[in-house]
Amino acid sequence: MKHPTRRQIVWLSASAAIGLAASVMTSTPALAQAASYPTKPVKFVVPVPAGGAADMMARMIAAHLQAKWGQPFVVDNRPGAGSSLGRDVGATAPPDGYTIGMGNIAANAINPAVRPGTFPYQPVKDFAAISLVGVTPLILVVNAQKVPSKTLPEFISHLKANPGKLSYGSSGVGSSLQLGMELMLLKTGTSMVHVPYKGSAPMVAELIAGQTEASMDAASTSLPHVKTGKLVVLGVSTKERAFFAPEVAPIADVIPGFNVRPWHGVMAPAGTPADIISKLSDEIQAFLRTPDAEAKLRAAGVVRVGSSARDFALAMDEDFELYKKVVKDAGIKAD
């Protein structure tokens, strides 16, 4: 191999210097932009109506960022189409940091898995993750009178002894409640009849009445009935125990790898400058670590996470792939 001449070495060194200078000049505006960001109002799109947990999270984060940086963070509720309408608005906005939004497991993982090819956005590729704010664990409950099981292993044995004879309710086809149950059935090799309802409240009422035998539901609607003895709780859907029922063991203790974690997180359109994403993520994470933020999340039944942008992106991709597989293996079809 020929060694470069002194003249070539000088030329290569000069080229490297020019390249380095160009790189510094290119990155300097981005760094300056992040340092001064925001210089005008920021729109915070929320794909659900005002008043719920996701809206509460967005408003408390928006209020903090506005107080911290002195620019308005304006919450813009865009409900409809299972949160997909608001997500579409976020995906098509200019990627300049002046439109951010709340994403959730329905719009960014489950709905696109259940209804592939029907969305105007890609659930992972069209968004830049900022921070996963929190998760709302589900609990597996059964009717205390119709199901003799008091533990999850007993319930699995009961299902195996009665294949396809028991039913479970959910808040609708493609809901996290349905997919959580179907994941459990797939992992245990058992089967139940799915009965979809228009919401969690009528589903729980029918479960208590004995029209169905089980459900994987939000703790806020089912846990009060556990306390009265009408329902029996068999496990929590997340890998860790939940603060609202620390005595309830994770389903994963019996079914390894089980982790159903309905989540809410802040994201931006794909292509938003990385330095702005980092600035937003760092500040949101710091805020979520405060006692006030955690108290508000707990009051809404939300387990605080406050992840990095990278960890949120990985979680979003992992859940999308998981639910695609559950939909396929369980043969779930949209209405």
Indicate the pLDDT class of residue 7, thresholds 50, 70 and 90: very low
The number of beta carbons lying within 10 Å of the beta carbon of residue 171 is: 22
pLDDT, position 84: 47
Identify the helix (H) or strand (E) that includes residue 319: helix 309-330
Domain ranges of the chain: 40-134+262-330, 138-253
Which of 3-7, 107-111, 153-157, 259-263 has the least mean pLDDT?
3-7
Q: For 229-247, write each residue's pLDDT tens digit.
A: 999 999 999 999 999 999 9
The CATH code of the domain at 138-253 is 3.40.190.10
Q: For 188-229, write each residue's pLDDT tens digit.
A: 999 999 999 998 999 999 999 999 999 999 998 999 999 999
Q: For residue 279, give the amino acid letter.
A: K
Indicate the pLDDT class of residue 85, thresholds 50, 70 and 90: very low
Query: What is the Cα–Cα distance from 325 to 115, expressed in whole angstroms?
Result: 13
The number of beta carbons lying within 10 Å of the beta carbon of residue 271 is: 12
Q: In this prediction, what percent of the chain has a pLDDT beyond 90?
A: 71
Residue 18 has pLDDT above 50, yes or no: no
Report the Cα–Cα distance between both ends of the chain, in Å, rounded: 67
Model pTM? 0.84
Residue 22 has pLDDT above 80, yes or no: no
Instruction: Return the closest-CA partner of residue 289 out of 304, 308, 278.
Output: 304
Query: What is the Cα–Cα distance from 251 to 184, expressed in whole angstroms?
Result: 9
pLDDT, position 265: 95
Q: Nearest-5° angle of CA 44, CA 60, CA 139?
A: 100
In the sheet where 263-269 sits, what is the strand order?
73-77, 42-46, 99-104, 263-269, 127-135, 303-304
The CATH code of the domain at 40-134+262-330 is 3.40.190.150
Per the listing, tokens 């859907």 go with 237
pLDDT, position 32: 55
**40-134+262-330 and 138-253 share one CATH topology?**
yes
Which of 109-118, 168-177, 256-265, 315-324 has the least mean pLDDT?
109-118
Q: What is the mean pLDDT of the chain?
A: 87
pLDDT, position 38: 97
Query: What is the Cα–Cα distance from 193 to 214, expressed in whole angstroms?
Result: 10
Average pLDDT score over residue span 26-40 = 70
